[in-house]
Chain A
Amino acid sequence: MRNKTGLLAIGIVVAFGGIVLPGCLKDKVKKTYTMYIPVYTKKATVMSSINGDAGHAISKAGQIYIKDNYIYLNEFNSGIHVIDNSNPAHPVQTAFLNIPGNQNIGIRGNILFADMYSDLLAIDISNIRQVKVIDTLLNAIPYRSYGQNDQVITGWIKKDTTVDVETRTGPPVFYDAVGTPFYSVSANASAAAASSLGSTGIAGSTATMTLVGDYLYVIPEPHSLNTINVSDPSKLAHSSSISAGFDIETIFPIRNRLLLGSKEGVYIYSLDDPAKPSKIGEFQHGRACDPVIADQTYAYVTLRSGTTCGGSANELDVLNAQDLSQVSMLKSYPMTNPSGLGKDGSVLFICDGPDVKVFDASDPSSLKQLTTIPVSAAYDVIAYNHLLLVASPTGLDQYDYSDPSHIVALSHLSISQSQQ
């Protein structure tokens, strides 16, 4: 009897489960993330307020650029700090150019070229405290088109939000914060290049925009090379856009050539027709992040592995670049986690993990390390006329390397990193 009752009870439970429980078997997955809502402003308003507050805090430094006695420091996606460096021991913030979406700087004469998201601005900086936008080339960098035609993003409203997401077994789709740049564009040159560029300035080694003659060359995204005619800064004009390679990160001008550093190697482009660069050579290396610079005879490439770079190489490759159409490996040197680099004469500086390493590069096949400068996580350097500018997330440091074996610290301009 009891067995029958037991079976009846089980039957009731099973029936109950079959009818009622299916509704209770819905799984729930909640996702909490930070959403950034763009704040748009009319371009006309932005242009009219480009002269910002000189005391604008430096919170997220990007590219560095020097021209004459000024340091131009990109405030990532916000504008450009202008720092009077007449006395490198006491740099003074002199002006701030409000340029939303700015990541790149290039200067020729008194004209500063800067990107504003997808647009390129030509700015007269004759009076650095009262600059004027003299022309805008719309859609010069089309892949950074975050704004609308007559508006640009000037800020973000941060908002934490929780949503229900569809249940699934795989990893949930992850979206980067809205507004996160998926590539950067920056100005670049080197001390070696600067001397051949007349009145252009000097930038760090991680640039993706550079000035050569009457043309500005831009990597708008990791596979293309855009050429913009800047011979008349008041009439900027598209010149050409070509498919240039894969995973291109940096651009460097040398001897009427462009070296494009990519995660797979170095592409060499001829500027015989400056309006339309043509590929003349290529050097392949293992996958890694790869800024490249060159002098008249050799090219120097740092390979950096890591989460965003892939690969496993951490090294400096010295390439024989006398014939740029046939670049070949000269020697490879192990490094810790190298990033930007710069060279002035026979002195080579490499940002490498916790230090900036200083080498005597008189014989590139046998580099001799002279000393190290303890600047942690330095990401780029400019070395020019015995003045070394080192950019790191915590500040801008300047050194005198008149005696490369005994480098003297001159100043430190602090950067208070923002949380984004």
Chain B
Amino acid sequence: MTKHILTGFLCVLCVAACFGQQAATLTRHSWRFRSDNYGGLSIGQMGSYGQVRTVNGLSRGPWFVGLGAGLDYYRYRNVPLFLSATRDLLTDKRSGLFLILDGGGDLPWYKREPQPYQNLTSTFRAGPYWNTGLGYRWRLTDAGRRALLFSATYGMKRLSERQTTVGGCYDPPACTVNSGTAEFEYTDRTVRLGVGVEF
């Protein structure tokens, strides 16, 4: 996992190194509320699945920090809850690139519905979540705060699941030997493409 975190950071650092010096000097230096809201796709080995996310927090100058929550349907529906930080890299009056870095946890919101013959019970547990990449802001007006957002990020989420099965038996207590438990750990790495709006 460390390898992939480093890869993600490298992506961000490369872009930052290329464009950091060109970042515009922002005129706004006071804290203000901001809300970034995206919808899009999580794309990975299993295919493309819908995802939405919202980050609400405070911005000052090129920085924006906030609390984020989302809904991701990749593999098993889940709710990422995270801290998010973005930094503007290139801006002009109406558009600009910015870096995105999210980190937090991933809560399962999925109930397995096994077939009756499987005699299986399942419990999902939360895991870590991170996401990093680039965004592009396109303000709808020169002076307004509303903007269209585009993002391309790479990230990882992990969920765990405990499955318990009970096999057929005829006479208890023999039944008790016919059960078993397995722990599954799902580590999913996806590219997330999103479009959204900023308020």
Contacts and interface: CB of A to CB of B under 8 A. Distances in A.
A305 B22 CA distance: 72
**Size band of the interface chain A makes with B:** 35 or more
Given A5-B22, A10-B136, A176-B180, A308 B120 contact: no
B177 A21 contact: no
B152 A14 contact: yes
Contacts of B96: 2, 6
B90 A9 contact: yes
Given A5-B22, A180-B180, A307-B166, A61 B173 contact: yes
A167 B44 CA distance: 11
B15 A13 contact: yes
B104 to A, nearest CB: 20
Contact of B170 (A26, A165, A289): A289
**Size band of the interface chain B makes with A:** 35 or more
B174 A21 contact: no
A31 B186 CA distance: 9
Interface in B80-132: 89-92, 95-97, 112, 114, 116, 118-120, 122
B142 interface: no
A420 interface: yes
Interface in B147-199: 152, 154, 163, 165-178, 180-191
A27 interface: yes
B31 interface: no
B90 A2 contact: yes
25 contacts: A2-B22, A2-B91, A5-B22, A6-B90, A6-B97, A6-B136, A16-B11, A24-B7, A27-B46, A27-B189, A31-B182, A62-B171, A76-B174, A76-B177, A174-B118, A177-B180, A184-B169, A308-B166, A308-B167, A308-B168, A310-B116, A392-B173, A417-B176, A420-B176, A420-B177
Interface of A: 2-3, 5-6, 9-10, 12-14, 16-17, 20-21, 24-34, 60-63, 76-77, 103, 165, 167, 169, 171-172, 174-177, 180-184, 186, 204, 206, 208, 249-250, 289, 307-308, 310, 339-340, 377, 379-380, 392-393, 417, 420
Given A2-B91, A3-B95, A34-B181, 6 more contacts: A10-B97, A16-B14, A27-B44, A28-B185, A176-B178, A420-B177
Interface of B: 4, 7, 11, 14-15, 18-19, 22, 43-46, 75, 89-92, 95-97, 112, 114, 116, 118-120, 122, 133-134, 136, 152, 154, 163, 165-178, 180-191
